[in-house]
Amino acid sequence: MQRIFRSVFNAADVKGDGSEFDRLFVDGERFMIGSAVVEVIHVPGHTPADIAYSIGDAAFIGDTLFMPDYGTARADFPGGSARDLYRSIRKLLALPAQTRLFMCHDYKAPGRDSYAWETTVAEQRANNVHVHDGVGEDDFVVMRTARDATLKTPLLLLPSVQVNIRAGKLPPAEADGVHYLKIPVRSPTA
């Protein structure tokens, strides 16, 4: 993500190799949180950098899936891929059926009045409106690509990316001592 967005924001302070972060994980890596073993699962598609964490009978799945009545994450951000997203989802849905899945976001599907954040692999496989069992990769890619074409850019995407690629830090202060978040402007011919 750093390499994708560094040039967008002219962020010369971002190296593009991830060295701004304390640690970078790879697929299948394990680490400890107290006595709990955490396994890293690379789940690209929404972005190329998405990961999930599996801990015992639970998985924290980031922006890959949403609650079954809402579906799946978009895949139209720079570096995103509906095909990669489908494959990542299938990887998550191969976990044991009783695995609890914790969502990163919930947008409350039409008809549902309360927020939700936990589901199971079995529930997703049976009821996810975009990718339940029986939905093939090509059909998913067609659906996800068409749906993504109708979505607006999230309001806070550009500010949040500038902080995210810097491992949670603001861009460096300018000559006046103020930190600025940039909004790129391109000419119509660019």
Whether the CB-CB separation of 100 and 58 falls below 8 Å is answered with: yes
* Axis-axis angle for helices 82-93, 137-148 (nearest 10): 130
Q: How far is residue 117's CA from residue 72's CA, in Å, rounded to a whole number?
A: 14
Whether the predicted model's global pTM rises above the 0.75 cut: yes
Q: How far is residue 152's CA from residue 63's CA, in Å, rounded to a whole number?
A: 17
- Specify the pLDDT at position 185: 83
**Complete DSSP assignment for 51-108:** EEEEETTEEE-TTSB--TTT-B----STT--HHHHHHHHHHHHTS-TT-EEE-S----
Q: What is the pLDDT of residues 49-84, one digit of tens each?
A: 999 999 999 999 999 999 999 999 999 998 999 999
**In Å, how far are 65, 80, 161, 182, 186 from 167, measured between CA atoms?**
24, 20, 10, 17, 26
What are the backbone dihedrals phi and psi of residue 122, each rounded to the nearest 5 degrees, phi first? -60, -45
Q: How far is residue 84's CA from residue 74's CA, in Å, rounded to a whole number?
A: 11
Domains contained in the chain, CATH given? 23-153 (3.60.15.10)
What confidence tier does 8 reach under pLDDT thresholds 50, 70, 90?
Answer: confident
- Specify the pLDDT at position 111: 93
The residues, any chain, with a CB within 8 Å of residue 4's CB and separated by 6 or more, are: 48, 78, 79
Q: Residue 87 pLDDT more than 50?
A: yes
- Specify the pLDDT at position 184: 85
Instruction: Give 124's DSSP letter.
Output: H
Q: What is the pLDDT of residues 109-162, one digit of tens each?
A: 999 999 999 999 999 999 999 999 999 999 999 999 999 999 998 989 999 999
- Specify the pLDDT at position 189: 52
Q: Residue 15 pLDDT more than 90?
A: yes
Q: Which two tokens stand for residue 120?
A: 């199971």
